[in-house]
Every structure is written in structure tokens, then in C-alpha cells.
Structure 1
Amino acid sequence: MPGGGPPVPRTWDELWQPGRLQPMLARRAPAPFSSPAYRYEIKWDGYRCLVFADPGAGRTFLQSRHGYDLTPLFPELAGVHRLLPAAAVLDAEIVALVDGRPSFAALQQRAGGVGRGARIPAAAPIAPALLVLFDLLGLAGAVWLGRPLAERVRGLKDLFPEGAAPGVAVSRGVEGDGAAFFRRVRDQGLEGVVAKRLDSPYLPGWRTAHWQKIKAEREVDAVVGGVVPGGRAAGVGTLLLGLFAPDGALHYVGHVSTGLGGEEARHLLGRLRARPTCPFVTVPARARGQPVVWVEPNLVCEVAYLEWTPQGHLRHPVFRRWRDDKDARACRLPAEARAGAPGA
């Protein structure tokens, strides 16, 4: 079996471990693909959640990926046990919807920005939470981990018919044409797709090729406005990136790690022109209290990212390549990012 992980629970007592059971994880696929052996589902942009629901005890426990109790943060989802005929362990994602679409920023607000340093206006409306179920791990004392995914999904749909309860839904998916499904997901601006083998077991805490995630990343060309030393071989640890507003001001949009060291770092530093002051409209929080080399905003790099945050920053930016063919002044701050940009 590919990959590895902790021992797989074999009995109900081993499975029913609120706060201790680990969810199954996905490897990253290099590109979208199609296969009749896989089921393709939306990669929901929310909090991973294992659900322990027991109608006999009258209790639902919502567990985060790392074992924390999410139930107090989402009390409207604490009644799953009322929908079940017997105790069950489920795998799910908690998402917050804004205009019918998942919003991670709205979810942070619901959770108080726990662990993410979110800065969300206090006056922002509270978004409703939705529990999206996608796997059945055990039911009525029976452990379902060894059953194939196709059977577990059928069992989940039997437990939760469409429209069975507000705030709870079963994740939809397609079989076979994963490439076309990915294009639809990407075009709708969603986070990506998870491909799951129809014959795969559920392996708590394991990351294997049974499940593969394909993120629908976007790309942007951004300007380097500062460098934080670090990384390997005393190289370049972090690039501070910006984009130009229509008035010509350079707004900070995020930072990326390059991993450059040695000759690569020296070559990069040789292309940058140092300056005494910060080129951004405001000094980024990422640069405060650290040694930063401010540079003239002339060098451009291509960055992949998931979405724009309400603060006008790139979410999960990843360095791709240098764009020596791109004029820095052509790197413009898009309208969707201007509302949250400082000084906008």
C-alpha cells in the first residue's frame, strides 16, 4: 500500500475517538486528469472536520483536523445527531457561504480568525455555516474504513437525502471525466478538486495516492519591492511583492519564499537596486522587526495564488518564475484587490 501512517482502527472503540482520530489526507497531483477509477469532488475552502454524532447520547462533536473542538464555534451545526438513526463518524468540511459561494475570510470571522491572524471588520455580517459531508467512516457500531469509497458514499447519501436538513449537505461529485470537472470548478472560482479512487479504503492519518488534490490556482505578475535575507546558504529567504494602483502607488500584496541560495542568490541580488526607503504605500507587517533590503520596484516574477483576501493580499502565493520580459509598471493592482488595499 502506498504511503504510510498510524494504525488503522479495526473496532468501534478504536474508531470512536473524538479529538484524537486523524482524517485521511490527499497528495498533490501535478495536473488535472481523468480516469474511470476515480470520483472527483470539489475541494471545499473551509475547515476540515470529523463529526462524531450520537443520537443516543444526544451529542455531536465537531473535531478539527488537529483535534480541536469546533462545536462551540458553529453551534448551528451541533445537531447532526438528530438526523441519524444511530451513532456515526463522518468526514466533512465546514464552509461559510457569501452570496452562495465559499468564503474563507467569512469562515475566519465565524471562528474569530483563530490561528490565521485575520483582520476582518467588526461590522461585517455573520455568514451562515454549511457542513459539507463527504465520507462515512462508521455507523451503528460497524467500522466502514475498509469498505470501498463507492460504498461509503452510497451509505452517506442514504443517511442524508438531498435537502434533509438546513446547514448540512453531501458533497456532489462526478466519476470519470475529472479534467472537464476541474475546468468547471476553476471557471467558477472555487479552490480545486479532490480525486478519490472508488475502490480505496479510508486510512485515518495517511496521505496516499488514493486521494489526490488539484488546486485551481490563478497567476499574477508581481513586482519585488523588498528582500528578507535567509534561506539556505545565506541566500534570499523572502521576496516582498507589490502591484501598482492606477495612481502609480505601489501596494504590498504578499510575500513568497524562493529557496534561493549561493550563486542563485548572488545573481538575484546583483540584479536588484537597493534603496534607503520602503517603496510600498505602507510598510508591510511582514517586514517589521526584520532585516529588510528595500529595492527599486523593477524586477518582476510570476506568482501562483488561490484568491485575493479582503485585505488586498494574495492567499497562498507560490513563486513560479522570473518575468524579465515584463515591464514592472504594467503590473497593476486588480479592482478586486483595491478595496482592501491600505490607502485605497
Structure 2
Amino acid sequence: MSLEKYNKKRDFKQTSEPKSNKQRAKDNRLIFVIQRHHASHLHYDFRLELDGVLKSWAVPKGPSLNPKDKRLAMMVEDHPFDYKDFEGEIPKGNYGAGTVYIFDKGEYQSLGKNRADDEATLRKGLKDGNLKFKLKGEKLKGEFALVKIKNSEDNSWLLIKHDDEFATNRKFEIEKLIPNEIIKAGEDFKKETKSETSPQKNTKTIPQFSPMLAKLVKQPFNNEEWLFERKFDGYRILVYINNSNSVKLESRNGKDYSEKYPAILQDFKKIKEQVVLDTEIVVLNKQGQDDFQLLQDYNPSSKKDIRCFVFDILYLNGHEVVDLPLLKRKSLLEKLLNQYSFDRTYLTGYDVDKGEDCFQIAKENKWEGIIAKKIDSEYLPGRRSDSWLKIKTIQNQEAIIIGYTTPLKSRQYFGALVLAINKNNKLEYIGNCGSGFDEKMLKKLYNLMSTYKTDKKPITEKVHREKDVQWIEPEIICEIHFTEWTKGGNVRHPVFKGLREDKSPKDVEKEMPIDTEETLEGKKKVGGKTISLSNLNKLYWPKERISKGQLIDYYEQFADLILPYTLDKPMSLNRFPNGIEKPGFYQKNVERDQLPNWIKTVEIYSESAEKNINYLVCNNAASLIFLANLGCIELNPWLSSYKKPEFPEYIVIDIDPDGNSFDKITQVALVVKDILDRIGVSCYVKTSGSTGLHIYIYTAQKYDYDFCKQFAEFIATKAHEALPEFTSVNRRTDARKGKIYIDFLQNRRGQTIAAPYSVRPKPGATVSFPVSWDELDQIKISDFNIFSVPHLLKNRVDPWSDLRKHKQDLEKALKVFAKLRS
């Protein structure tokens, strides 16, 4: 870094911070300085002289002499060499406003043997993200390391003390080494600043959030880049606080639980800020363990031990903080909560690196499990990310109650619950659960289920004791414990745990753990093939905060729907490795030796290039995910297969709005459909995912490209003749003059079009989505995106399901048209 960024952030007419960077006499000595900076948030600035400037890191908790402490250090802009002597105040209204105190300074060196090579050794360590050095200060002495966190895109490092003669195994509290007058000066400055700015701080409307979700993995692990928390067994609650004037407790499915838990509500009314917190509410039994049944039965008049554990902060005084690294959010949360005294609200503790120990404690104390979180992770509202993982001590599963059996022997009300989950857009039976109920719960459940009785069986599978089953509407969700999944897909030895009023039926799916090691190493196993993944947290849609990992998750989830349209098709790769806001590039020719051996490629001669092109072919889910990992946000297959490259499987008519309204595009599409209907040709429509519509005709590779292009041109021309005032078939934009373009030229060898269900590199992460003709006038392009599509597909009948069932006789269709004209 140069000093340009440093100078740009400061007004040297107002601050006494040094601007110049005086050159000192060249020798082999290098200096370091650690400055306590009591700004908006207290932190320590750790600075090392290198290449004539001070390389700088902000350390929220300050350095430590205990090797077990791994301190987050955020690398910031270079500071001038003269900054080593700076102490005092940075005036209010300036960047970094607050008090600065020199905690320690002295000389430092690399761990190399030759002092003449110090700068070269340190420079290499900085570049490699593994900077090791020895401090010779008054307070800090001995060997340290600054280690860059892998895959970090926000300059997150860890500052770690080496275990040497200067290290300590006791708790190191740096603030106890600071003079009282320095601490008071910083606090007084902050109070004055807060009082001056408080009238303007809380004027914005608080946005709505959805909780971030974790992926289930198999084994616990140790890793210095992760922290580990207790997994609570309660209700996940987002707390919205508006300066103590109003407080709302909201569940995952949007229910208001404020009146249900008044004791918790009163705690949060003490907070005089605008803030959104992520929490979990639990009730403890007499053994001090989370008890989900007690939580369900809780009422405000009871004396049950209800508690709220706070573990994240999403919003503070007009600012979303979801994009801050996790440890920064933790520090912010701790400072906020420490200002207040609560009766039933607690800050959730955590350990860095010690996941296996934490999991052992979880088992001993009968916790539900632990949560692992990457220390530099951002908060991704409503998203399930590889940055948050959960490891359970016991298997559990949410399920939809679809019926109940009659009771046997002395039991009253019902015998067992009939359970199902969502799978492939329908309900799938997973077994009956007949244990875990007391008399009170049997009665409560029976009365609840009686209001949903139906004669309609909601599943197709055979059910145990089916002749004794009373079916109910699939609206009630419960949670069960069980020992394992059977080969037939049922739960073995299920035990009822409780009702899940905070969840929605559409979200209930089978949850299977994934391999921990593969997840940490960025590997995914799909169909027996292992794919190495990279930069999963990179934001491909920065404004929407949608990551590369979420794109990959989407393609993995819907591979079965997409692959029929890419099978045996040569692919043109449109790659966006740095997201949609950075330039992408097209790639057709792929290098065989740079691909996994299970990726299929085919050589096809290109007349325009006058050479063979080696195309990638996407025939399985692993290949689909491999493409997404390359940065292929969208999928662009040929219309023909490599086996019959001259004979397309489809004819496509692309309706390009060129600025016209969606209503007009729909009108054009319906005219095209009417023409095809009159000549007996079935056609199907999908959104382009950009601005237009695509109309597909299935040809079963019966006709060559020349015939298909001519047929498409004929239909496009007839549609244009019906709507000449606002359509055109002229490819030249200057000739169209803002008219809707009915494009038939996609029907040529080598041309590609976005596949059905393909994501597009457009704002909002829109998806090219097959729709029915009946709903065409009720939709808009933005209705279909990477997050809405999974919900839309859960109970949707595929409008393209019979696309390949009817081969089109296009020659006969043209004869029909000739008869109609005559």
C-alpha cells in the first residue's frame, strides 16, 4: 500500500496526525509501535516498520502474551513512519476520532539468522500471509506471528504469540496495563462525542431481516479460523429494538412472540438504541438443561427458568452491520450489552479453535450440539452458508404431521403420528412416531389435529397401520429424535420432541449431514465425484449479498431439473469469476489437461475459426457444479447435441423487448402461440431471466438447422405482420427503432441460449423460469430468482412436463397453414 489512502482519509488542517514521511538514515534496525486507540470502538493499532512505512493492523482485543489467544487483526492502510510518535486526540468529526496512547514500542526483527536479510524475509512473509517476527519492547517481548486467514477478502489476520520464555499461560488482560487517566480520557471523549451526535442517530426505519442458517456436518473439528458456540434447543428469535420505545420478538416464520415472553421483552426495553439482535429463547429444567417441552408449555405466570441468549447483531443506530466480520460484530455486541443489566438475557460465549473440546462439553452436558462459525464470516440473512456449520450430539428431524393412528390398549386420544417431509415437490412418508408423549401432550395434539381432519391421503406410499389412520391437512410441524435413517428412507426409533410453531411446512426437508473435512477443504462429493471448490464466500452479487457458494448450492439442488436441457449439448462458458459487477468473458475451447478426468469434452469443427473446438459437455450434477465453480453463473448449451450437431432438439423464438413493457412482450408471445396453435404445433414459454421471453418448440432432432431457422423466421414474420406497429424482425437495432425484436436467428449451429432454470448474471440473481401460458399475464421477470425459485418449485406442477412427449411434424404444419390461407 502507498500513503495515498492514508492522506485521503485525513484533513491535516484539523488533525495533528503526521502527514510527512521523513526518510531516516538507512540501517538494519526496524521499529514497531502499538497504540491504544479509543475511537468509536476501542482497539489497538499494531504497526511494523517495513519499506519505509508502518504496516498497520487494527486489533480489537489488543495483542496477548498467551499463545492460546488468537487475536483478530484487520490490516488497514499504511501509516507514515512519523506516526510512531503520535499520541493525543484526533478531533471529533475526523476519521478515527478518539484518543491515542502509545502502549509499547521498540525494535523488532525477522526470525531469520541474518539481520541484513530482515526486510526481504519480512516482505516475503507479508506476501505469503505468514509474517513471523520478534519484538523487543518494554511490555511485549519475544516471538509473534501474523497469519492471514485463508480465503479472506477483507484483510483478516490472526495475531498469535509464540510459546517462548516471554509467553504466559495465564489470562492476559491488556487493559489492566493501561493507566487509569488514559482509560478515563478515552471514555470521556467518547461520551462527549455520543452526546453531540445522539439527536441524529436513530431516525431511520429498521429493515426486516431473516436469520442466517447453518449447514449440518458430521464431525467436530479444531481450526483457528473458526469459533464454536453452544447450539441451543429453543426458539430462534430476531429482536427488533427502536430506542426502547418499541420492542418486537419475531420467530423464523415471522410470528410475533412479544406477548408470549414478557420477561424477555422487559429486558430488551432497557436498551436505548436502534438495534436488531439474533437470539435464542430457551427454558431450562431443574438440571439446568434446555427443555423444549417446557418452552412449549411456558406461560408468563409460571416460574419456569426462561432465558434469552444473544449471539449476533445485525443493525445498530441506522447502520446494517451484517457485512462486518463475525468477531467485529461480536465485539460490537459485547460493548452494547455490557452497558445494561438484564434479568434473563445473556451474551453467548464462544471458544476459538477448540471445536472438539467444545463438542465433548456439549455431550457431557446434554446440549443439542455446537455451532461452528468462521471468524471472518459476514451475516447472510435468510441464507444457509458454509461459513456457519452445526454439529449435533443427537439426530433430530423436523417433520410434517399428515395423520394419526387410533390408540391401542390403555392409551387415550391417538396411537402414533404419521410423519412426512417435502421431497421433489411432494410429500414423502418417513414413518410413524408413537413415543415421547405425556398425557397432557396427547390431549393437546389430538385437539389440534382434530381441526385439520381430511379424507384425502396426502402421500402415495403405503403407511404402517394405514387402515387405522385418520388423515389431516399437512399444516402441523413437529420435531423428533431418532437413531438413524433406514435404507427405505424411514426414521428408526423416533421420539416426539415437540411442536414447531416457529417453522413453516414448506421448509421441512430431510436434513443429512455432510462430510466435515470436505466442507472445510472446500470439496464437495456429488455422484461419487469430488469437486474442489474455491472462494465460496466471494459475493457474485455484491448489492444483494449473494455468494458464489449460494450459486453452487442452487445448481446442486436443481440439477435434476436442469440436466435434461444440457444433456450431450456442447456448452459455451460465460464466466464471471469476480461477480456480475466485474467484466466477464466467454470461453468455448477448454484445455482437456486442466479438467478432472470425469468431465466430458468433445471436439467439433468450427467453420468460422477454421479449427476444431474442444467443448465441455454437462451431463451430470458434478459437471454442473464444476461449471458454477469456474464462475459460469448462467448455462448456455447449444440447441443440438454433439452426437447430431446439425439437428437441433428445439426451435427457439427469442422475444427481446428493447425497452418495451412486459405487457407488450406478453402480447407478442401470445400471438406467436396463436399462430402455432392454428397449425397444430405445441410450444412452451419461459422467462429469459433478463428482460424477455423464450418460446420453445420440440423437434426431437428431426430437422436440420436450415429448416428450423426458416420455420422460426416464418413464424416470427407472421407475428410481426400481426403486430407491425411495435414489433420487428430486423436484427439491426438502428433499423428497429425501439420495437420489440422477434429473434429467430438463435436457430443456427453453435448459437446458445440460457437453459431453463439457469441463473442469469443480472441484478437480483434472476432465473430463466418455465411458466404456463395461463400465468403469463400475471408474472414479472423479477418474480423468479435464486431464492424465490426453491419455494415456487415445492408445490408446483411443471408446465413443461410433456415437452418431449409430442414430436412436432413441422412439414405437416406448414401444409396446414397453406390450406388455411387458401
TM-score range, shorter chain: 0.5 to 0.7
Shift of 1:29: 1.3
* Conservation of the 8 A alpha-carbon contact between 2:417 and 2:434: no
Matching of residue 22 in structure 1 with residue 197 in structure 2: no
Q: Distance in 1 between matches of 2:354 and 2:284?
A: 27
How far does residue 288 in structure 1 lie from its aligned partner after superposition? 3.9
1:14-54 superposed Cα distances (whole Å, 9 cap, x missing partner): 9823xx42111111112211111111001111110111112
In structure 1, distance between residues paired with 2:279 and 2:466: 50
Q: For residue 341 of structure 2, what is the aligned residue in structure 1? A: 164
2:49 is aligned to none
Cα distance, 1:95 vs structure 2: 0.8
**Structure 2 counterpart of 1:96:** 283
Corresponding residue of 1:251 = none
Q: Which residue of 2 is the match for residue 72 of structure 1?
A: 259
Partner residue in 2 for 1:142: 319
Which aligned pairs between 1:180-199 and structure 2 lie closer than 5 A? 180-199=357-376
Tell me the distance in 1 between the aligned counterparts of 2:378 and 2:465. 57
* 1:73-101 superposed Cα distances (whole Å, 9 cap, x missing partner): 00111124443242111100111122222
Decide whether aligned partners of structure 1 residues 276 and 189 sit closer, same or farther in structure 2, where only a CA change above 3 A counts.
closer
What TM-score do the two structures reach when normalised by structure 2?
0.26
Q: Is the 8 A contact 1:227 1:238 kept in 2?
A: no
Letter in 2 for 1:43: K
Larger radius of gyration: 2
SS in 2 for 1:101: coil
The alpha-carbon distance between structure 1 residues 13 and 195, as it changes in their structure 2 partners (threshold 3 A), is farther
1:84 is aligned to 2:249 = no
Residue 71 of structure 2 is matched in structure 1 by none
Tell whether 2:249 aligns with 1:62. yes
Distance across 1 between alignment mates of 2:263 and 2:416: 45
| Structure 2 equivalent of residue 237 of structure 1 | 429
TM-score normalised according to structure 1 size: 0.59
Query: Structure 1: which 5+ residue stretches go unaligned?
Result: 2-11, 113-123, 220-224, 244-260, 279-286, 291-312, 323-330, 338-344
* Aligned equivalent of 1:5: none
Q: Distance in 2 between matches of 1:69 and 1:43?
A: 23
Q: Which residue of 1 aligns with 2:231?
A: 43
Sort the Cα spacing of 1:317 and 1:161 in 2 relative to 1 into closer, same or farther, 3 A: same
Residues of 1 paired with 2:354 and 2:317: CA distance? Answer: 34
Q: CA shift at 1:160, angstroms?
A: 1.8
Using the TM superposition, give the Cα deviation of residue 275 of structure 1 relative to its aligned residue in structure 2, in angstroms.
9.8
Report which of the two has the higher share of strand. Answer: 1
Cα gap change, 1:194 to 1:228, in 2 (>3 Å): closer
* Aligned equivalent of 1:247: none
Rate the CA distance shift 1:160–1:276 in 2: closer, same or farther, 3 A: closer
Structure 1 or 2: larger helix share? 2
Q: What amino acid is the match of 2:283?
A: A
Asked if structure 2 preserves the Cα contact closer than 8 Å seen for 1:163 and 1:169, the reply is no
Q: Is the 8 A contact 1:227 1:237 kept in 2?
A: no
Distance 1:33 1:226, change over 3 A: same
Query: 357, 368, 387: which one pairs with 1:210?
Result: 387
Kindly state the Cα deviation for residue 229 of structure 1 after the two structures are TM-superposed: 11
CA 1:275/1:108 → structure 2, altered by over 3 Å: closer, same or farther? closer
Counterpart AA for 1:21: F
| CA distance in structure 1 between the aligned counterparts of 2:203 and 2:379, rounded to whole angstroms | 17
Shift of 1:164: 2.7
Distance in 1 between residues matched to 2:390 and 2:330, nearest whole Å: 18
- Over 3 Å counting, the alpha-carbon distance change for 1:238 and 1:111 in structure 2 is farther
Q: In percent, how many aligned pairs have the same letter?
A: 27
Q: Is the 8 A contact 2:225 2:375 kept in 1?
A: yes
- What is the root-mean-square deviation of aligned Cα atoms in Å? 4.4
Equivalent position SS for 1:72: coil
Distance (Å, rounded) in 2 between the aligned partners of 1:26 and 1:184:
20
Cα pair 2:395 2:484 within 8 Å, conserved: no
SS in 1 for 2:259: helix
Aligned to 2:480, which of 315, 320, 328?
315
Aligned residues: 245
1:121-136 aligned at under 5 Å gives the runs: 126-136=303-313
From 31, 46, 50, give the equivalent of 2:219.
31
Deviation at 1:126, TM superposition (A): 4.6
For 2:417 and 2:246, locate their aligned partners in 1 and report how far apart those are by CA, in whole Å. Answer: 51
Q: Distance in 1 between matches of 2:205 and 2:483?
A: 37
Number of the residue aligned with 1:284: none
Bigger mean CA offset, 313-322 vs 186-195: 313-322
For residues 183 and 167 of structure 1, what CA distance do their matches in structure 2 show?
27
Q: Distance in 1 between matches of 2:323 and 2:239?
A: 18
Q: Which runs of 5+ in 2 are unaligned?
A: 1-150, 152-201, 397-414, 436-459, 473-477, 488-492, 498-822
Contact 2:237/2:250 (8 A) holds in 1? yes
How many angstroms apart in 2 are the aligned matches of 1:14 and 1:160?
21
| 1:143 to 1:218, Cα distance in 2 relative to 1, 3 A | closer
Q: Deviation above 6 Å: which 4+ runs of structure 1?
A: 12-15, 225-232, 274-278
Structure 2: how far apart are the matches of 1:61 and 1:226? Answer: 37
Distance, in Å, in 2 between the alignment partners of 1:37 and 1:194 is 14
Judged with a 3 Å threshold, the aligned counterparts in structure 2 of structure 1 residues 181 and 140 are, in CA distance, closer, same or farther, namely same
- Whether the 8 Å contact between 2:271 and 2:340 is mirrored in structure 1 is no
What is the Cα deviation at residue 175 of structure 1?
0.7
Change (3 A) 1:163 1:42: farther
Q: Which amino acid aligns with 1:182?
A: F
Greater RCO, 1 or 2 (C-alpha within 8 Å, sep 6+)? 1
Residue 152 of structure 1 pairs with residue 329 of structure 2: yes
Distance in 2 separating the partners of 1:41 and 1:33: 13
Say which SS state the counterpart of residue 332 (structure 2) adopts.
Answer: helix
Q: 1:81/1:184 Cα in 2 relative to 1: closer, same or farther (>3 Å)?
A: closer
Determine helix, strand or coil for the equivalent of 2:333: helix
The change in CA–CA distance for 1:188 and 1:228 in structure 2 (over 3 A counts) is closer
Conserved 8 A contact 1:149-1:202: yes
